[in-house]
Chain A
Amino acid sequence: MNYGIEETIQIPTVYDQMVSRGVSRRDFLKFCAWMSAYLGMEHSGSAQIAQAIQSKRRIPVVWMHFQECTCCSESFLRSSHPIVADILLDKISLDYTETLQAAAGYQAEENLQDTITKYKGEYLMLVEGSIPMGADGNYCVVGGKSAIDTVREVAAGAKAIIAWGNCACSGCVQAANPNPTQATPVSAIIKDKPIINVQGCPPIAEVMAGVLVHLLTFDRIPQLDSLGRPKAFYSRRVHDTCYRRPNFDAGLFVESFDDENARKGYCLYKVGCKGPTTYNSCGVIKWNNGTSYPIQSGHPCLGCSEAKFWDNGPFYQRLESFPGFGVESTADNIGTTIGVATLAGLAAHAVATNVFKRNTIGPQPGEKPESIEDDSKTSS
């Protein structure tokens, strides 16, 4: 899909606007000299200002915060390439974000209104957090306005929306059963705008930055899977890109935390790893500039880039079954081929059967032995 946001990026410079209003080049340079003096800069400052005013405008961006824990903002700050200072100073104009902006209260709200009015149809809307539909919206109110009203108001003029993290994509922890506040993802409320779901709790820093860079560099929305996630980062299962995968295939499992097998870095499947049903880049990009990822540090994947992962627990119980073993699988073709014995599925079946025959994976209480090898039983 290409939503063509070229116009968003090619917005007129301040200089263009001045020229269109009839300001001459001579007046423009005089203005720069005055501005330089006003700011108390040395003589060379004038040229610097002239250059800045004539250069390409940065894309206006508003970052909305609703029901969230700010882990997405924090993760974004961890980006190593590009670093956040470069994104903020050179790539985007982050005109509203409660986490970082200097202005507060009235001035902060004014910044938001200015941007959505002045750049109607041009700005990018980033959303962190879910929107509670219960109690007439009073479970989340900012500046006296409910999150429901604000998300509709701001989305109306947005060129595109990025839903950061599991909260904005699928409601995350507050939407876990029984979802007391009726926490709702952006895509369930806004239907007429392109929405990029950048999943995870939080998403990996470089994935967040990567999605922004993709938009700005290639002037288009990245290809998305059927759940709205960029394929570049969410088309592979953690299981298929896991460096411990050979242990799974060989039937070498951690039986208990810090046992002999854990100390050798065997597969965490039997202590509850959700890697086989989770689509994310943890095994490829890893976390914190490639330092590690949950499995590498000995903990099972919780499946945090999948909807409703909080209710797929308990976390330390192993998956009873999971779909298609093959590395060719993506969330989309798993979704459409469930119940169909694909070549990958057959191969996987064979692997699972062999593993099972060696008795390295015993059935859990209440689990039928065959369930582990039966791809067709998995839910969509």
Chain B
Amino acid sequence: MNERIVVDPVTRIEGHLRIEAEVKDGRIVDAWSAGTMVRGLEIILKGRDPRDAWAFCERVCGVCTTVHALASVRSVEDALGINVPPAAELIRNIMYTIQNVQDHVVHFYHLHALDWVDVVSALKADPKETSRIAQSISHWPKSSPQYFADIQKRLTGFVASGQLGIFANAYWGHPAYKLPAEINLIGVAHYLEALEWQKDVIKIHAIFGGKNPHPNYLVGGMPCSINIDEANAINAERLALVGKLLKDAQDFVEQVYYPDLLAVAPYYLEWAGIGGGLSNYLCYGDLPTAGFSNIDSFKFKRGAILNRNLNEVLPVDAKDTQSGIEEFVDHSWYDYSVGEGKGLHPWSGETKLNYSGPKTPYKNLDVDKKYSWLKTPRWKGHAMEVGPLSRMLVGYASNQSEIKAAVTETLGALNAPASVLFSTLGRTAARGIEARLTAKWGLEFYNSLLKLIKDGDTRTFTKDRWDPETWPKEAKGVGMSEAPRGALAHWIVIKDKKIENYQLVVPSTWNASPRDATGQRSAYEASLIGTPVHDTKQPLEIIRTIHSFDPCLACAVHLYEDGKEVSKQELAAQ
């Protein structure tokens, strides 16, 4: 008899995710992933000024804040034929890279680490031995025996207070935790350090965008002006701060995050054979080095891999309305006018909310029917995984030399074959490999920006198509990016100077969606099959694999309406 287990809420993620799984003989035999919150942003966007859309879209997610604004301004620029000045592109790249690095580090320590690091075990660590290990894997200065003793003392007081706060009622002592106490203590120390570090490095967003979370963007460039002879603009002092923070970011990645990843991984090599799931990977590419229209100049390469075949990278065209990206709603709480079993390209898509799940409070969803607020996207009919692993694989298979070298170096350090990448551990490792690259690239873009300014090109905005009077009567565009969690695109239709249609297909929609009309599972559901579950009352192994994707559910759930407005009454009546 199979046992049905439910994990809801899945915590240490963004948004509201529910996992139901069936366990037989200690292994998961089937799984369902459900997004349980919806806001309706696409309906809200309709009829508004396309130049305002970035601000609405940025509020899709406060964790990957920035990437939705970027995808949005790109969609409008694509529709209107705007090329932003080089300095604006470099500033966007710098903001992109620091967001990627900061997000990956926060994910590793604050959202994912507690799946691998047993906080309570750290109380038993020997600070001297902890120091010895720390110094053997990195020259990070905070590594003395006294430093670790102080951290341990603070942790002891915290645990002994009986108020465990965010660490309460977790899975401490679970046999799936494998690290020695000393490495657990290093993990706790770096959890606290990363908490401090992340708030500093992200100041780069405040310098260029005024604030973080939710920095400001602008269709046609960036809002910050550069004037090296003015106090009220980006000048030498502002730039020096950006440079310092980028260096701080890289130091932390190279001396803390990456060494920790390499130190932890050998204890969990079992997880290199668990959680592989799908075998298809999709990457839209990002980080242009010679203009966004020049796809070949991207640091992250665009393409798709099927069946783990790294010898072939297939081209991806987001504007292909015949045989490209489509969304299905066969297991989602929406209706299509074309009926069930058919997918729609985002430019011609439609949505009507129609909740048909159980009444609250409920114990289980009816997974044979509709069970999620996420739609189900497919590329040429294939379920695709997106994220850092997909970026690294597509880059590797495209012979992007920097990506290839970084992946090879890590596999060498772990003494492991490339096949380990197709797993829970591989996903987590790919994120670390990527953070090393984006930290390095951030500094490259910074140096390019300095050179550009030195050479006299300080333009950050083009006025060319700012005035709606210059726009065509109708225009369509796609804004593509690679969010920390994977391939992200916004499709826009502009008509009579207003948004006629707007749709987002985001990373967690690819990964966390319910199955499609043919019963094909998406990435989360597929990855859970075969996962061992030691104790069905404690979902530690499930959240390990789910966290390896870095879920972001507010992003994933949205809705879109074609042509007609859904009235409040209609919605309320449902």
Task: Establish whether residues A178 and B227, one from each chain, have CB atoms under 8 Å apart when the complex forms.
Answer: no
> With A and B bound together, what is the CA distance between A302 and B461 in angstroms?
19
How many A-B contacts are there with CB distance less than 8 Å? 372
B10 at the interface (CB under 8 A from A): yes
Task: Establish whether residues B168 and A111, one from each chain, have CB atoms under 8 Å apart when the complex forms.
Answer: yes
When each residue 1-30 of chain B gets 1 if its CB lies under 8 Å from chain A and 0 otherwise, what string results? 000001111111111100000000000000
Chain A residue with Cβ nearest B62: A71
* Contact A71-B156, Cβ < 8 Å, known A104-B11, A134-B568, A258-B461: no
Task: Establish whether residues B61 and A264, one from each chain, have CB atoms under 8 Å apart when the complex forms.
Answer: no
Task: Establish whether residues B49 and A316, one from each chain, have CB atoms under 8 Å apart when the complex forms.
Answer: yes
A357 at the interface (CB under 8 A from B): no
Contacting residues of chain B (535-574) with chain A, CB-CB under 8 angstroms: 537-539, 543, 554, 559, 565-568, 571-572, 574
> With A and B bound together, what is the CA distance between A341 and B140 in angstroms?
63
Chain A residue with Cβ nearest B126: A42
Task: Establish whether residues B62 and A92, one from each chain, have CB atoms under 8 Å apart when the complex forms.
Answer: no
> With A and B bound together, what is the CA distance between A205 and B196 in angstroms?
13
* Contact A70-B62, Cβ < 8 Å, known A49-B156, A256-B463, A294-B211: yes
Contacts of A201 in B (CB 8 A): 59, 214
Task: Establish whether residues B12 and A100, one from each chain, have CB atoms under 8 Å apart when the complex forms.
Answer: yes
Task: Establish whether residues A71 and B195, one from each chain, have CB atoms under 8 Å apart when the complex forms.
Answer: no
A346 at the interface (CB under 8 A from B): no
Chain B residue with Cβ nearest A58: B163
Task: Establish whether residues B192 and A257, one from each chain, have CB atoms under 8 Å apart when the complex forms.
Answer: no
When each residue 65-102 of chain A gets 1 if its CB lies under 8 Å from chain B and 0 otherwise, what string results? 11111111111011110011100110011110111111
Query: Which of A39, A58, A75, A292 is the most central at the interface, judged by chain B CB atoms within 10 Å of its CB?
Result: A292
Q: How many whole Å from B106's CB to the nearest CB in chain A?
A: 8
B289 at the interface (CB under 8 A from A): no
When each residue 130-152 of chain A gets 1 if its CB lies under 8 Å from chain B and 0 otherwise, what string results? 00101111111111111001000
* Contact A58-B161, Cβ < 8 Å, known A70-B554, A292-B211: yes
Task: Establish whether residues B36 and A140, one from each chain, have CB atoms under 8 Å apart when the complex forms.
Answer: yes
- Counting chain B residues whose Cβ lies within 8 A of the other chain, the interface size class is 35 or more
Q: How many whole Å from B369's CB to the nearest CB in chain A?
A: 14
Contacts of B8 in A (CB 8 A): 105, 142-144
B454 at the interface (CB under 8 A from A): no
> With A and B bound together, what is the CA distance between A197 and B51 in angstroms?
30
Contacts of B62 in A (CB 8 A): 68-75, 202
> With A and B bound together, what is the CA distance between A305 and B186 in angstroms?
40
Contacting residues of chain B (220-247) with chain A, CB-CB under 8 angstroms: 220-227, 230-233, 241
> With A and B bound together, what is the CA distance between A286 and B14 in angstroms?
26
Chain B residue with Cβ nearest A301: B210
When each residue 110-137 of chain B gets 1 if its CB lies under 8 Å from chain A and 0 otherwise, what string results? 1000100001100110000000000000
Contacting residues of chain B (138-185) with chain A, CB-CB under 8 angstroms: 153-154, 156-171, 181
A103 at the interface (CB under 8 A from B): yes
Cross-chain contact of A141 among B36, B55, B162 (Cβ < 8 A): B36
Contacts of A105 in B (CB 8 A): 6-11, 539
Chain B residue with Cβ nearest A166: B59
Task: Establish whether residues A138 and B360, one from each chain, have CB atoms under 8 Å apart when the complex forms.
Answer: yes
B428 at the interface (CB under 8 A from A): no
Task: Establish whether residues B571 and A134, one from each chain, have CB atoms under 8 Å apart when the complex forms.
Answer: yes
Contacts of B38 in A (CB 8 A): 132, 139-140, 181
Contacts of A51 in B (CB 8 A): 157
Task: Establish whether residues A53 and B161, one from each chain, have CB atoms under 8 Å apart when the complex forms.
Answer: yes
Cross-chain contact of B167 among A40, A102, A205 (Cβ < 8 A): A102
Task: Establish whether residues B156 and A142, one from each chain, have CB atoms under 8 Å apart when the complex forms.
Answer: no
Task: Establish whether residues B213 and A75, one from each chain, have CB atoms under 8 Å apart when the complex forms.
Answer: yes
Cross-chain contact of A174 among B44, B65, B463, B566 (Cβ < 8 A): B44
Q: How many whole Å from A296's CB to the nearest CB in chain B?
A: 7
> With A and B bound together, what is the CA distance between A40 and B202 in angstroms?
39
Contacts of A287 in B (CB 8 A): 206, 210-212
When each residue 36-48 of chain B gets 1 if its CB lies under 8 Å from chain A and 0 otherwise, what string results? 1111110110001
Task: Establish whether residues A40 and B123, one from each chain, have CB atoms under 8 Å apart when the complex forms.
Answer: yes
Task: Establish whether residues B554 and A100, one from each chain, have CB atoms under 8 Å apart when the complex forms.
Answer: no
Task: Establish whether residues B227 and A85, one from each chain, have CB atoms under 8 Å apart when the complex forms.
Answer: no
Further contacts, 4 of them, CB under 8 A, given A182-B572, A205-B199: A67-B37, A71-B213, A94-B166, A144-B6
List 8 A-B pairs, minimum CB-CB distance, nearest first. Answer: A265-B232, A71-B62, A180-B40, A294-B210, A40-B124, A102-B170, A299-B216, A297-B210
- 22 pairs across A/B with beta carbons < 8 Å? A39-B123, A40-B123, A48-B157, A52-B158, A60-B163, A69-B61, A69-B62, A77-B106, A85-B196, A99-B11, A101-B11, A103-B170, A106-B7, A132-B38, A140-B36, A145-B360, A176-B56, A180-B559, A183-B39, A264-B233, A298-B233, A315-B52
